[in-house]
Amino acid sequence: MSAIVVEAVSLSKRYGGRFAVKSLDIEVPEGSVYGLLGPNGAGKTTVLKLVTGLLRPTGGEVRLFGERWRRNHLKEVGALIETPALYQHLTGRENLAVHTRLLGLPKRRIGEVLEQVDLEEAGRKKVSSYSLGMKQRLGIAVALVGEPSLLILDEPTNGLDPKGIREMRALLHSFAQRGITVVVSSHILAEVSQVVSHVGIISNGELRYQGTLSDLVEKGQGRLELRTARADEALRIVRERFPDADRQDNTLFVPVAEEESAGLVAELSKEGIPINGVNYRRDDLESLFMRLTDREESGERTEVKA
């Protein structure tokens, strides 16, 4: 089993009377790309600020590298939380030089991190001329300058165009390959689902799911969609065994395991119900995410024509 790099134990943060983060238990395994996912206002930024010591918990604790949180741990942590603090009138190189000097790091780190975020050329230009994606990448270069083993990125894909998002994904992938543990937050699962190995899904400050991305996919509930001209009668029969079955026009939706669906179809035929079509559908990642964060959409169902 791999070591746990970040652990939140019953972590809570209250602003006034309201919990932004409530009794959260999180474990980020070493070498993982951990996606901290949830809708706007779910508490992601608050969690990342608690992990990096920008906020103090109201309750519970954060553990880093298997130990109680200490400021000294931050030497091993690179973070980009909210928008990067960059000097617009300086070049990318000059911005990084501010940090290498502050941290007493060798100048060669500037070139190294610029290469890592693909800004070697642009490093000579003023930051005011950078695109949003370039600024985000420079912000990450700043976070990387101290050679952290843990990188924490708050919504690095926010506001980027599709090309910028692809570049950011490639970058996250390259960090993982170099053995850096990455925690990345996002409110759009699709923007990070190709690169994350683990996810923690939060909603209203509470953890809804934590595990590998592949386990999440497995968790996807499936349902049988069944078209029949005698939908009312069919629904009555189906509901005897599946009370949560539903119908829309001539289509029935039955939450049933795939192995059991053929039996159910046969049963209905035996009862004389004409079946005009069947389809088995498993929740895709996005609808799972929506369900876990209480934002279930009804749109998916309308794809099925009765």
Ligand X SMILES: Nc1ncnc2c1ncn2[C@@H]1O[C@H](COP(=O)(O)OP(=O)(O)OP(=O)(O)O)[C@@H](O)[C@H]1O
H or E element, residue 105 = none
56 binds ligand X (CB under 6 A): no
* Burial state string for 263-287 with b = 16 or more CB within 10 A and e = fewer than 16: ebbeebeeeebebeebeebebeeeb
42 binds ligand X (CB under 6 A): yes
156 binds ligand X (CB under 6 A): no
39: three-class secondary structure by DSSP: coil
Nearer CB in complex with ligand X: 20/79:
20
**How many residues belong to the chain?**
306
Least distance CB 85 / ligand X (angstroms): 17
119 binds ligand X (CB under 6 A): no
Kind of pairing, strands 18-29 and 4-15? antiparallel
Residue in 20, 134, 184, 196 binding ligand X, rule: CB under 6 A: 20
Least distance CB 28 / ligand X (angstroms): 17
Two tokens, residue 54 = 């920008």
Tell me if 196 sits within 8 A of 213, measured CB to CB: yes
Stretch that binds ligand X, among 44-52, 133-141, 226-234, 280-288 (CB under 6 A): 44-52
Least distance CB 81 / ligand X (angstroms): 10
Q: What is the largest CA-CA distance in the chain?
A: 81
32 binds ligand X (CB under 6 A): no
Least distance CB 147 / ligand X (angstroms): 27
What's the order of all strands across the beta sheet hosting 206-212? 77-80, 150-153, 181-186, 33-37, 198-203, 206-212
Least distance CB 264 / ligand X (angstroms): 41
15 binds ligand X (CB under 6 A): yes
Residue in 2, 25, 41, 87 binding ligand X, rule: CB under 6 A: 41
**Residues near ligand X, by CB under 6 A:** 15, 20, 38, 40-46, 187
